[in-house]
Homo-oligomer: A and B are copies of this chain.
Amino acid sequence: MIMSRIEAPRDEHTGNLTDRLLAGLPPEAVLTDPDVTASYAHDMASFCPAGSPAVVVLPRTVEQVQHVLRTATELRVPVVPQGARTGLSGGANATEGCVVLSLTRMDRILEISPVDRIAVVEPGVVNATLSRAVEEHGLYYPPDPSSWEMCTIGGNIGTASGGLCCVKYGVTAEYVLGLDVVLADGRLLSTGRRTAKGVAGYDLTRLFVGSEGSLGIVVRAVLALRPKPPRQLVLAAEFASAADACDAVCRIMEGGHVPSLLELMDRTTVKAVNDLAHMGLPETTEALLLAAFDTPDPAADLAAVAAVCEAAGATQVVPAEDAAESEMLLQARRLSLTALEAVKGTTMIDDVCVPRSRLGAMLEGVERIAAAYGLTIGVCAHAGDGNTHPTVCFDARDPEESRRARESFDEIMALGLELGGTITGEHGVGVLKKEWLAREIGPVGVEMQRAVKQVFDPLGILNPGKLF
């Protein structure tokens, strides 16, 4: 890094910027080697442009983050905050000449309180690290995005991420009680509370959650925890059509059941997982439904749901016999996106959430779109939430197929809106869907959201080009 500062050709602007950053950051926290900074250019989304960062900073303290923001404000340089860059919508992609602000080194768990059922953490704490740490205290931090072994709490807050748990436990937003946020000008704002309830003033906490780093930089979070529930037991139900599986989902929810997980994998996804990992899932099925309960008597609850599935036409219902079998089924579900990526080399993962009563119409529509575009589109879904991930498989080296992939991806969002849904249930807007945000929230919505952005970021330096 020191070498790069001597050797790398830098224009005056970057030189000035780097020097100013180094005035408040230790040398090892400022990366300028272009080979290194290039590796911070983008997250895991396809089809999202990314620029080259001028510099990557890795602060360890709130004061250092404040210094970065003050410097960026003085020099009018864009700041792109990043966690683990596991995002799927380009929300963490660099813009040309920006400061990439990686929060990964602010990774301390500051407090875990079993009485108050809260944790206080820095943004760079990895989701799985927190989950395991609170488990030792008999507690549970539910949000579990597929990337939970890598993704950070700061990134989770930025996109209000979900996961498999949401059908019972909700998304990240439900677990953020209070935040410390460094504003664009470097000032520190504390929002929210560390109490169970609180209504003092506007809910700025929730305004920052899901704002994709465009309103301020989260440097500390007070998170709500729950008591650790009993281990969940999983059931797999096979259906002769996706429509039957969706009907079962509706009947389960209408019947008042509260599963801890209710996931759907379509035939394409099941086959892809088998091809990748030889897990022996039933290939003849058109749709596989996974349901789980973490209640005191999960076997009884699974039996009730098994009966509902059979009434909805399930061809076979297999409850897991034990925790190991349950874990195997979840493993298959978690492998879905990786497995679909192997089909043609590249995927575009959509994230359309519809009212669960429209889940059947959504899946039928996706099948129609796949046929019309001559593409393989596998669907896995957080079915209990109506949150589908239609995943377009394509060969990125084939421009014509890539074009069809992009178009079908857009058609899927249009379908979601038509069914009363949203273009993004948990992945965020980022770069990928910013043209679609306006279609969903309308002109008055865009105007008010832009005005809120203006309040917090009058110079437009915070993660520019995202969301709008």
Contact = CB atoms under 8 A, between A and B. Distances in A.
Interface of A: 113-118, 138, 159-160, 162, 166-167, 171, 173-174, 183, 187-191, 193-204, 206-207, 209-211, 215, 226-228, 250, 253-254, 256-258, 295-297, 353-357, 382, 384-387, 420-429, 433, 437, 440-442, 444-445, 448-449, 451-456, 467
Copies in the complex: 2
Instruction: Enumerate the 3 nearest inter-chain pairs by beta-carbon distance, A residue then B residue, closest first.
Output: A227-B256, A206-B206, A196-B385
A416 to B, nearest CB: 9
Contacts of A191: 441, 445
Contacts of A440: 200-201
Nearest to A436: B200
A462 to B, nearest CB: 13
A159 B445 CA distance: 23
24 contacts: A171-B197, A173-B203, A188-B444, A190-B441, A195-B420, A196-B353, A197-B387, A197-B425, A198-B422, A198-B425, A199-B422, A199-B424, A199-B425, A201-B441, A201-B445, A202-B449, A203-B207, A203-B210, A204-B445, A204-B448, A206-B207, A207-B207, A227-B256, A452-B455
Contacts of A199: 159-160, 171, 210, 422, 424-429
Contacts of A250: 115
A202 B353 contact: no
A357 B171 contact: no
Nearest to A89: B199
B356 A115 contact: yes
Contact of A441 (B113, B200, B258): B200
B174 A387 contact: no
A162 B198 CA distance: 10
A5 to B, nearest CB: 35
A174 B173 CA distance: 10
B448 A456 contact: yes
Nearest to A178: B422
B257 A227 contact: yes
B203 A228 contact: no
A382 to B, nearest CB: 8
A201 B117 contact: no
B426 A197 contact: yes
B202 A425 contact: no
Contact of A200 (B196, B226, B258, B423): B423
Given A116-B356, A353-B197, A183 B423 contact: no
Nearest to A355: B116
A428 B253 CA distance: 34
Contacts of A201: 429, 437, 440-441, 445, 449, 467
A63 to B, nearest CB: 16
A56 to B, nearest CB: 26
B445 A189 contact: yes
